[in-house]
Amino acid sequence: MDTSKKKKSIKQRAKKAIVTQDNRFIYAKYDMNANELKFFMWIVAQLNSQKDSLFQVCEIPVSEIFQVFDNKSNENFTYVKNIIDNMAKKVYIEDFKLLDEKTMKEVEVHRAMPLFQFLEYKKGEANVSYRLNDSLMQYLLDLKRDFTQIKFDDIQQMKSAYSIRIYNMLVCELKQNKQSLKINLSALQNILEVPKSFYVWEDFKKNVLAQAKKDINTKSNLVLLDIKTFKTGRKITDLEFIFDYKNNDKRIKREQEKEQSFYNELIKIIQEYIGKSIYQKRFGEMIIISYQFDEEKKDLKLIAKRKADDKFVHFGVKSFKDINALKKAKDKAEELFYLDEVKVLKSKEAQNKYRSLFD
């Protein structure tokens, strides 16, 4: 295969390559520059995150590494050796809390794990051999839930590692039907492992946030609409990223999924009210007997039967505000029931009669 065909093949693979990570990995700490991060994510994209259960010894052509970097210059192999030396020092850092079984108190845990078991490059050969550290398997293999997938093509041309990290976070939130991410400024700086000079707001804004917005908006499938700031006193302490898909079809699909999830939650709640009594001043006492949901029109209705004349009454349910009104109507019916001594006595008699049948 000639060089031009090989380059074309790598480019096509890059467009199809999917990087899959546990969500914990996205918000963990690891200090890499843009090329190192692309190198690592390209390796992760070669895994089958749903089927693989072990890390294998693998090889990557040196020529492929340069194309992964989207590097158009002719770097020498010393550059690759330096990449390998640097990657061998990279660690995944996770901070979390663990419940101590003896004291039953939460204990803060700081865990650091090398990303690679080894990397190897022999002079004169065209490949780099490597094996990922087994400690990372829980974050990269056999992922069934709470994971995020990104297209490698959406990060390949980004200039800043901070842009790539922030992009991963935004995609993670979008997959959970969220269009905003509010995060403490110090926490974000800690995750990104920015140098101390970037802890100054103006420097962080210029070197991290401005570049992230430029990279994401020009190189990826997302649009970062705004970065809001929040102050405690005079100091900026929190940020909120506002974002969405550029592709309108994806945006519509996500909105539809979000809407369907919302109605599923409403239906789950109102099912608990079927068979219960409710009271409204306009219609009097009623029994909820069923519900109807028109999926196409997104029209959810409760069906109740009036006790006075057995006529049916339909109630629209469009929000959790309607659920609160339903709860109040149920509580009112219960209150009126216990104020009616005749009904209470009849209910007790019926209960006693029912029990006697099984004595």
Confidence grade of residue 2 (pLDDT, cut at 50, 70, 90): very low
- The proportion of the chain whose per-residue pLDDT surpasses 90, expressed as a percent, equals 47
Mapping DSSP to helix (H, G, I), strand (E, B) and coil, where does residue 20 land? strand
CB 26 within 8 A of CB 169: yes
Helices (H), the chain: 3-16, 23-26, 34-45, 62-68, 77-88, 137-140, 161-174, 185-192, 201-204, 210-219, 248-270, 320-339, 341-356
Listed ranges 26-35, 98-107, 242-251; the one with the highest mean pLDDT: 26-35
Place of tokens 């969405």: 244
Quote the tokens at residue 278.
Answer: 């409710």
> For 9-68, what is each residue's pLDDT tens digit?
666 777 789 999 999 999 999 889 999 999 999 999 999 876 777 899 999 988 888 888
Mapping DSSP to helix (H, G, I), strand (E, B) and coil, where does residue 23 land? helix
> For 324-351, what is each residue's pLDDT tens digit?
888 898 898 888 876 766 665 666 655 6
pLDDT at 218 over 60: yes
In this structure, the number of other CB atoms found within 10 A of the CB of residue 143 comes to: 20
Q: What is the mean pLDDT of the chain?
A: 85
Q: Which of 93, 94, 68, 66 is nearest to 80 (CA)?
A: 66
Helix (H) or strand (E) holding 235: strand 235-245
Residue-level pLDDT at 308: 87
Average pLDDT over residues 250-255: 70
Residue-level pLDDT at 226: 94
Quote the tokens at residue 123.
Answer: 């002079």
pLDDT at 318 over 70: yes
Residue-level pLDDT at 355: 54
List, in sequence order, every residue forming a beta bridge with 315; answer none if it has no partner: 302
Residue-level pLDDT at 150: 94
In this structure, the chain runs to a length of: 359
Q: Which of 242, 133, 239, 243 is nearest to 191 (CA)?
A: 239
pLDDT at 196 over 60: yes
CA distance 165 to 204: 15
Q: Going by DSSP bridges, is the β-strand pair 277-280/284-294 parallel, antiparallel, or unpaired?
A: antiparallel
Mapping DSSP to helix (H, G, I), strand (E, B) and coil, where does residue 134 land? helix
Confidence grade of residue 323 (pLDDT, cut at 50, 70, 90): confident
Q: Which of 108-122, 228-242, 258-272, 278-292 has the lowest mean pLDDT?
A: 258-272
Q: What is the DSSP letter of 200?
A: S
Residue-level pLDDT at 1: 44
Edge-to-edge strand ranges of the sheet holding 284-294 = 277-280, 284-294, 299-306, 312-316
Higher pLDDT, 212 or 144: 212
Average pLDDT over residues 244-270: 80
CA distance 162 to 194: 9
- The proportion of the chain whose per-residue pLDDT surpasses 70, expressed as a percent, equals 87
CB 307 within 8 A of CB 287: yes
Q: Is the dihedral of CA 132, 138, 140, 141 positive or negative?
A: positive
